[in-house]
């Protein structure tokens, strides 16, 4: 980018946010479709930044515009991803790689549980929606548990013995699956009496263990990139 009164360089926070978002929702999409979508975003960002420099917009104005476009486009991005998932073979792919679907369930289920807790507490205006929140939590938790169970059965039918892959990435994805399944179990039965409440308590404990494993694996992945020993001369 040129210098002068216009934008001298790409607004880093806004560009990184938009790039992060497209990378996230295309990460497990079919490679060709995902690459096309990411290229489309980069082209749009390049055109927007070039136009901003021509008309002399400030970096803050451009940043706000990029973030606003990203937020407005999120429903269309989600719709695109759902359309991609209708392609043949995608169900089997997700059964073999369940962390994508279970991670999505976790993202939806976590705030639903928080809202349900708020409706059971002293927060005014939420009590009337308690039944709706309970239904949403029940549906999401049941769907997450069912998908996790089907994925386990599907993999066992093809590989009687799991061949565990090592490394921070596989461990992190396995921990994410375990986090979602245990969170769903805990959320589904924690307001019931024994023995279901005991199952819920055990699920919360298992969730805590999985969370610790996930954080450790994520830290190991970041540390591995920061200390890439392959780049150190021998």
Q: How far is CA 15 from CA 21, 68, 74, 101, 140, in A?
A: 10, 12, 15, 27, 33
Please give the DSSP secondary-structure letter assigned to residue 122: T
Q: Which two tokens stand for residue 98?
A: 């369940």
Looking at residue 2, its pLDDT comes to 39
Residues in the chain, pLDDT under 70: 1-11, 122-127, 159-168, 193, 221-234
* CA atoms within 13 A of residue 129's CA, in its CB half-sphere: 15
Residue 180: cis peptide before it, omega within 30 degrees of 0: no
Question: For the whole model, what pTM was predicted?
Answer: 0.70
Tens digits of per-residue pLDDT, 129-174? 788 888 999 999 999 999 999 998 888 887 654 555 566 677 888 8
Helices (H), the chain: 12-26, 31-55, 59-84, 90-96, 99-120, 130-158, 168-189, 196-226
**Pairwise CA distance, residues 202 & 157, whole Å:** 27
Looking at residue 57, its pLDDT comes to 79
Looking at residue 225, its pLDDT comes to 59
Q: How far apart are the first and last CA of the chain?
A: 39
Looking at residue 150, its pLDDT comes to 92
Q: Which long-range contacts (CB under 8 A, 24 or more apart) does 222-226 make?
A: 224/168
Looking at residue 22, its pLDDT comes to 92
């Amino acid at each position: 980018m040129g210098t002068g009164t216009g934008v001298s360089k790409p607004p880093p926070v806004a560009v990184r946010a938009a790039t992060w978002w497209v990378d996230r929702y295309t990460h497990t999409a079919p490679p060709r479709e995902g690459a096309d979508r990411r290229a489309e975003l980069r082209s749009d960002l390049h055109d927007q930044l070039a136009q901003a420099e021509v008309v002399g917009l400030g970096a803050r104005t451009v940043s706000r515009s990029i973030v606003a476009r990203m937020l407005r486009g999120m429903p269309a991005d989600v719709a695109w991803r759902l359309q991609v998932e209708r392609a043949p073979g995608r169900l089997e792919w997700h059964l073999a790689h369940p962390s994508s679907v279970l991670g999505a369930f976790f993202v939806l289920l976590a705030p639903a549980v928080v809202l349900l807790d708020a409706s059971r507490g002293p927060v005014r205006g939420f009590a009337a929606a308690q039944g709706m929140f309970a239904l949403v939590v029940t549906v999401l938790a049941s769907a997450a548990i069912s998908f996790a169970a089907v994925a386990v059965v599907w993999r066992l039918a093809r590989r009687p013995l799991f061949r565990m892959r090592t490394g921070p990435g596989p461990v992190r994805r396995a921990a994410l699956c375990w986090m979602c399944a245990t969170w769903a179990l805990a959320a589904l039965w924690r307001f019931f009496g024994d023995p279901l409440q005991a199952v819920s308590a055990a699920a919360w404990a298992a969730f805590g263990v999985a969370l610790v494993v996930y954080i450790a694996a994520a830290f190991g992945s970041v540390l591995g990139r920061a200390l890439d020993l392959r780049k150190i001369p021998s």
